[in-house]
Amino acid sequence: MKTDTFKTSKGDMVIHFLGHASLMFEFNKMNIYVDPFFQAVDYSALPKANLILVTHSHFDHFDLDAIKKIYSTNTQMVYTQDCANTKKYAGSVIIMNNGDKQTVEGITIQAIAAYNIEHKRPDGKLFHPKGEGNGYILTFGDKRVYVAGDTENIPEMKKLGKIDIAFLPMNLPYTMTPEQAADAAKMVQPKVFYPYHFGETDVTKLIDLMKEEKGIEMRVREMK
């Protein structure tokens, strides 16, 4: 399993790239998971979670079987209201809606809007309607990490402030095209940009689009 380590003002933060949209952050002896999904990795072999964040209620982001393998009585859960409405609980849950901000397990969390602008299902409805899903900004010491969730290049990205690390999805037809992902990265202006949850979408096209963008280091990991 590939990892990257970043220095912060409060110690090292290690990112574990679990696959799909699933991530684990290791920080100050805590394990923080985002969108556990059983197809990404064998969760029974991973350490128990101090904190689990779920971006929205789609099965490949909100997988109760995966959650149960890393859940303990000490685990804090952060859900969207849409996730809570499913009644699939693994314990006590903190509900965060777009725009909410709070500190959980010493980690400041901001819930950011995540939604489609143009990509629609065959019935004409958006894959991810506005208000149902969250992206999250997690603060580790002096580093702010943006995990965008399933979203397109929405205008809210222009107002996030300083972002050190950004995970932006590029999974057609559900989220962004390479052109939209490049536009999103240019709006967010992270120091390090990881495309993630990109399925079969051509990452090389995104690499070409980002070549001339100064100040953003793009890193590609196995995050289909």
Q: Within a domain: residue 223?
A: no
CATH number where 37 lies? 3.60.15.10
Quote the domain boundaries for residue 41: 3-218
The tens digit of pLDDT for each residue in 200-210 reads 999 999 999 99
Q: Within a domain: residue 52?
A: yes
Selection from 5, 14, 35 nearest residue 23 by Cα: 35
Pair 159, 144: CB distance under 8 Å: no
Distance of CA 145 to CAs 68, 112, 193, 197, Å?
A: 25, 12, 10, 16
CA 105, CA 48: separation in Å to the nearest integer?
14
The tens digit of pLDDT for each residue in 138-174 reads 999 999 999 999 999 999 999 999 999 999 999 989 9
Q: Please report the pLDDT score of residue 10 as a whole number.
A: 97
Q: Within a domain: residue 26?
A: yes
**What's the number of domains the chain is made of?**
1
Q: Please report the pLDDT score of residue 17 as a whole number.
A: 98
- Average pLDDT along the chain: 96
Q: Within a domain: residue 224?
A: no
CA 32, CA 178: separation in Å to the nearest integer?
28
